[in-house]
Amino acid sequence: MPGSPAALTSITLFAVARFPLLSVLVPPPVTQISPLITVFTLGDWQTNCHVVTSGNPGSKNCWIVDCGFDPDEMLDFIATDNLKPQAILLTHAHLDHIGGVDRILARFGKMPTHIHEGEAGYCSDPMLNLSAMIGMDTTCAEPDGLLKHGDTLTLDGTTWRVLHTPGHSPGGACFVHDESRQAVVGDTLFAGSIGRFDFPTSNRDLLKKSLNLLMTLPDDMTIYPGHGPTTTIGAERRSNPYINGGF
The Cα–Cα gap between 65 and 51 comes to 6
66 in contact with Zn ion (CB under 5 A): no
CB-nearer residue toward Zn ion: 104 or 194 = 194
CB-nearer residue toward Zn ion: 78 or 89 = 89
Q: Which of 119, 151, 187, 236 binds Zn ion (CB under 5 A)?
A: 187
164 in contact with Zn ion (CB under 5 A): no
CB-nearer residue toward Zn ion: 53 or 122 = 122
Cβ-based burial of 89 (10 A; exposed 0-12, middle 13-18, buried ≥19): buried
Q: What is the DSSP string of 24-71?
A: GGSPPPP-----EEEEEEETTTTEEEEEEE-S-TT--EEEEE---SS-
Q: Is the separation of the CB atoms in 247 and 200 below 8 Å?
A: no
Per-residue binder mask for Zn ion (CB under 5 A), 91-130, x = binder: ---x------------------------------------
Which residue stretch of 21-29, 154-162, 181-189, 229-237 sits at the interface with Zn ion (rule: CB under 5 A)? 181-189
Which residues does 222 contact at the CB level (< 8 Å), separation at least 6?
Answer: 181, 182, 183, 230, 231, 232
Which residue stretch of 26-34, 55-63, 86-94, 239-247 sits at the interface with Zn ion (rule: CB under 5 A)? 86-94
Which residue stretch of 17-25, 88-96, 99-107, 171-179 sits at the interface with Zn ion (rule: CB under 5 A)? 88-96
Residues at the site binding Zn ion, with contacts judged by CB under 5 A: 94, 187
